[in-house]
Copies of this chain bind each other. A is one copy, B any other.
Amino acid sequence: MSAELDLVPAALTQAIDELPLVDHHVHGATSHDLSRTAFEELITESDRPVPEWTTQFDSQVGFAVLRHCAPVLGLEPFCTPEEYLARRARLGAGEVNRRLLGASGIRHFLVETGYRGDELLGPSGMAEASGAPADEVVRLEQVAERVASLGCAADAFADRFGRALDERARTARGLKSVAAYRCGLDFDPAPPSPAEVTLAAGRWLDSGGGRLSDPVLVRHLIWAGLERGLPLQFHIGYGDPDVDLRRADPLLLRGLIELAEPTGVPLVLLHCYPYQRHAGFLAQAYPNVFFDVGLGVSYTGARSAALVAESLEVAPFAKILFSSDAFGPAELHHLGALLWRRAMARVLGGFVADGEWSLAQALRVAGMVGAGNARRVYGLGSGG
């Protein structure tokens, strides 16, 4: 389409377009229709109302919706927000989801269910809407908060949480910690003692439970998660204003990474923007560290190739994964996949055009990052 893209070997672009992706970290699509306000509030990580002097369509992700999702709904690229939302409403959420998820080419979803899961399609709903298998990733904090909400004595918490986690982990493909949101990543990496856990649980439960943010409990959840042996995902970097971005730098996890190394559990750093180079360093240094640049790819839109390129610097290629981290509108699932494919074609195609990589190398790395690495890390089999 452009002179730049003309440099990308057509075989590479086509192969990447057709890759059956594994989205190793995603949330459900919204199952109901969305007002303009609701839609705009879901295409930003801000949780504040949209100011009256602007629209969230005036952003990279907004422009990407009008450019890339409009055709999937039967509109011309670069239509207006009004045209887009009118067509979306006419088609209805079910049809919109089927079209956008289906056209994403994602062939396996690992759905994190622990955040506002009641508003979204669960794994089975995602499988139905997309025609692709969908498994679950369990959020540790949500399991603990549910234990608390059912009533629990402080000295029974660790055991009750452990049993609840065993139950959930039976069918889950992975676990996840949102320590970055709850206490920042600069926590003491060592596992807390049982007595510390009971004490902290007492404080938390006595104050009514709810949002779990005590660092002792957050650490306990992480270490309990590590014992289950499933890959453990960590929110890193970019997210909503609830995150203090300074305390979401993956380099802060160094102590935990080293302590957890003997367990052999893969630690998967999610998103990472703008710390993707830090994540790449950790992925080279430590065999148990993996990462993706999901979320950031969708939200940087026309700039996502820069982000993807920075993820392909010092990290070994077997350590990089694809995710969309989409949440809510199926536009985000679609863009997560589509923009990643375009970015990979540009970046790897650039390496080939520059004479640095062979076409065969580019094809192989695209397949590793898009699906193969996740299949190996999460034990998903060979696909198909």
Contact = CB atoms under 8 A, between A and B. Distances in A.
B353 A2 contact: yes
A56 to B, nearest CB: 7
Contacts of A49: 287
A314 B285 contact: no
A11 interface: no
Interface string A338-349: 000000001000
A376 B181 CA distance: 34
Contact of A353 (B4, B365, B368): B4
A interface, size bucket = 35 or more
Given A278-B274, A361-B78, A376-B53, A244 B251 contact: yes
A54 interface: yes
Given A281-B238, A300-B314, A286 B46 contact: yes
A278 B356 contact: no
Nearest to A1: B355
A91 interface: no
A240 interface: yes
Interface in A303-333: 303, 306-307, 309-310, 312-318
Q: Specify which of A64, A351, A365, A368 lies most central, judged by the most chain B CB atoms within 10 Å of its CB.
A: A351
Contact of A44 (B3, B245, B303, B316): B316
A354 B274 contact: no
Contact of A351 (B44, B46, B56, B302): B302
Return the 5 tightest CB-CB contacts between A and B, nearest first: A302-B356, A274-B277, A54-B318, A241-B285, A2-B353
Interface of A: 1-7, 44-46, 48-49, 51, 53-54, 56, 58-60, 63-64, 67, 77-78, 238, 240-241, 244-246, 249, 251-252, 254, 258, 273-274, 277-278, 281, 284-287, 296, 299-303, 306-307, 309-310, 312-318, 346, 350-351, 353-358, 360-361, 365, 368, 376
13 contacts: A3-B6, A3-B7, A4-B350, A5-B354, A5-B355, A45-B314, A59-B316, A78-B358, A78-B361, A241-B258, A245-B254, A245-B278, A302-B312
Given A48-B286, A51-B318, A307-B313, 4 more contacts: A2-B354, A48-B287, A240-B285, A245-B281
